[in-house]
Structure 1
Amino acid sequence: MSSDESDFYGDDDLVGDLKRKVEHFDVNKWWEDHEALKTPLSTRAGGASENMSLLHNPYAGDPYAWQLTESVDAFLSRLPPATTEETPDHRWIWVCNPYIKQKSRHEAENQRVRGGEDEAPEAEGADIATLMEAGEERLHFASSFIDQFRAPGISGALFIRETKKAGMDAANDILSLAKRLRVTCGKWMLFCTVFEVNEVWGTIAKATANNELGIGAKVAVKSNVDHRMERLICVYTADFSDKSDVTRVAEKLKQLGLVKDKPLYYKPDAYTYLGIASGNPWEIRASIYDTRSLLGK
């Protein structure tokens, strides 16, 4: 902006008065006088307890989730994933984006679906029950089709080709159905060692709380039975079909130094609800995106 554009407008007395006020304005004193001013960010940072209508938390009251009444640093100190132990009701630590309104966890349909209790709160109007019923029927149809090629005399090459085609067709149908039923959440999956999980989780938690990533994130806590040294962190987005948003989150993860030599993979929650994992009998790829394909490396 040029000096002419930044000049005060008005008569000489008004201009002179405004310039005197600017010259004598004490920024530090203003902040001291307005220290108690409550904005969403300052309230969260200060750990104030009053209701903040502009912010949202579907995990309000959950002891294993970030609360709007505490700073992110306090949350990370309270629940360090490297040493926080699982309970019968809690296998994950959660942080949700407070700027995106989501259904309360207590109202979420996935809390009443076996295997869905640990997924992100679904979108309003999501019909998980119908997805699971129709999706399982579609997978059964794919299995029946594949079984036809197990007969004697069928070449192995033909069996593999038809299995992959049947799986691909089923996957496309399931994703289209999930979109229509509003079961659209998905997640980027990161694995790190127990020695680095606190630092990696801290980076993701802060970025999520600051509206820089997706709708939420979770990290696996210390298991009482599984003593592997790897921990899983999931970074959720609202819509697996929104490739630009999925890519945006991947790019931010890369900026944060979390995309390194190995690619990260993105899995829609619809696959999780239906138990579609690596090595499934339909040869369906368990992820639909990876950072190498989306980001070019």
Structure 2
Amino acid sequence: MPPDAMDLDPPSPPSAPDAEPCNPCVHLLPYARDTNEPIAHFLQRLPPAQAALTAPAHLLPPWYWIANPHRSAYPAHPKDVPSFTREGAALLQAFRQNMASLGRGDYAVKEQLRECLQREIGEAAKRRGVTAGKWMLFPQVSEVNEVWRTVCEGVDANRLGTGAKVSTSGKEGDPARLICVYTRDFTDVEDVKRVLYALVQMGLVRADMPRGIMYKCDAYTYLDIYGNNEYGLRASVYSSKEMLGER
């Protein structure tokens, strides 16, 4: 599984909505919030800013996790990653062949093919339940505990998406930590916006941020589509500056 893909399969539906808290992250214990664990206890047990002080980086898990305890927050259908990756690989191969058949010009046709590829990947992801995506925050290590606390409280209160994770260490020479806030369906633009607006209301995102924050989908991760990819696809599906500019 790609390292940044969130393995949160939809829980089995209960007899009554949200009758009991669910925890798809339970298999990630002890580096995730346990079922019914108070937020304050979880944050005290695993403070991300102090992670590097507890063990060398190579002995730490890459992430600390929290899952939304509300079953209604999750998609209704389980994901089928093998089928999606097969379909996605076929779409990418067809795109490469179609592009190779065109000349140096044909820019309009090439852009149409690219838009078609993006749409078809989204349709395949939807069909196979591979719809998770995440907004990415990069707080400085001096701020990460407080930002993570706010995110965890939002996840627990069902104000955000299906869950979140925080990196336990930054890249060498980079004091920032990565926090991913997941939504259940990157093709559901209104839900993606809803989570972004909640982050704004929590004071974690501002419309006037110079670069804003970006949103990536796990479907692209499974297909190894990153920045500067050969298909000309934007690795980040959405940006906060674009979405907040629409308001």
TM-score (norm 2): 0.80
Given candidates 35, 53, 57, the residue that maps to 2:23 is 57
Alignment-mate amino acid for residue 69 of structure 2: P
Secondary structure of the equivalent of 1:230?
Answer: coil
Given candidates 202, 210, 215, the residue that maps to 1:256 is 202
Alignment-mate amino acid for residue 196 of structure 1: E
Task: Report the structure number with the largest CA radius of gyration.
Answer: 1
Q: Distance in 2 between matches of 1:244 and 1:101?
A: 16
Size of the alignment, in residue pairs? 221
Given candidates 251, 261, 265, the residue that maps to 2:214 is 265
Q: Distance in 2 between matches of 1:176 and 1:243?
A: 14
Q: What's the offset of the Cα at 1:264?
A: 1.8
Q: Distance in 2 between matches of 1:165 and 1:140?
A: 16
- The answer as to whether partners of 1:166 and 1:282 remain within 8 angstroms in 2 is no
RMSD over equivalenced CA pairs, Å: 2.5
Could you list the runs of 5+ residues in structure 1 that have no partner in the other structure? Answer: 1-51, 104-121
CA offsets per residue over residues 124-153 of structure 1, 9 Å max, x none?
Answer: 33211111111012112212222344xxxx
Q: Distance in 1 between matches of 2:231 and 2:240?
A: 24
Query: CA distance change for structure 1 residues 159 and 84 in 2, over 3 Å: closer, same or farther?
Result: farther
1:1-297 pair list within 5 angstroms:
54-60=20-26, 62-85=29-52, 86=57, 90-100=61-71, 124-149=77-102, 154-155=103-104, 158=105, 163-222=110-169, 226-260=172-206, 261=209, 262-296=211-245
- The answer as to whether partners of 1:83 and 1:222 remain within 8 angstroms in 2 is no
TM-score (norm 1): 0.67
Could you list the runs of 5+ residues in structure 2 that have no partner in the other structure? Answer: 1-17
- The answer as to whether partners of 1:58 and 1:102 remain within 8 angstroms in 2 is no
Q: What's the offset of the Cα at 1:89?
A: 7.7
Secondary structure of the equivalent of 2:164?
Answer: strand
Q: Name the counterpart of 1:116.
A: none
Q: Distance in 2 between matches of 1:267 and 1:177?
A: 16
CA offsets per residue over residues 83-135 of structure 1, 9 Å max, x none?
Answer: 314556821111111112689xxxxxxxxxxxxxxxxxx86332111111110
Percent identical among aligned pairs is: 38
Secondary structure of the equivalent of 2:145?
Answer: helix
Q: What's the offset of the Cα at 1:251?
A: 0.5
Query: CA distance change for structure 1 residues 241 and 83 in 2, over 3 Å: closer, same or farther?
Result: same
Query: CA distance change for structure 1 residues 188 and 227 in 2, over 3 Å: closer, same or farther?
Result: same
Q: What's the offset of the Cα at 1:256?
A: 0.9
Higher relative contact order (CA 8 A, sep 6+): 2
